[in-house]
Amino acid sequence: MIVTIAKVTDPARFLEIFETIGAQKRREHGCRGARVYFDPDDAHRLWSIFDWDTKDYEKFLADPEIPAIARELGLQAPPVHAVAATELDA
């Protein structure tokens, strides 16, 4: 799993691009699924959770089309990667 936290300028526009162009590009790079959660205290802050192998995610980030897609998403800054504090089987 990959978890990122980001701020966006327009949440509705973010979802539109994330669910279409972004989904297509993620599939090309082996992503098996994604979820977005909005911060209840700040509608412009969100968490994205991806079912993705690290190797495929790194190839996605290296794709030359990603910067343009990120601009369309309206990211205010590059997403921050959340690091798991622990991993449990239950």
- In this structure, what CATH number is given to the domain that contains residue 57? 3.30.70.100
CA–CA gap between residue 3 and residue 47 (Å, rounded): 7
- Domain-embedded: residue 88: no
Domain assignment of residue 56, given as a range: 2-81
Domain assignment present for 89: no
Q: Domain for residue 38, yes or no?
A: yes
Where helices occur in the chain by DSSP H, the ranges are 11-17, 23-28, 54-62, 66-73
pLDDT in tens, 17-76: 999 999 999 999 999 999 999 999 999 999 999 999 999 999 999 999 999 999 999 999
Q: Which long-range contacts (CB under 8 A, 24 or more apart) does 30-36 make?
A: 30/56, 30/59, 30/60, 31/56, 31/57, 31/60
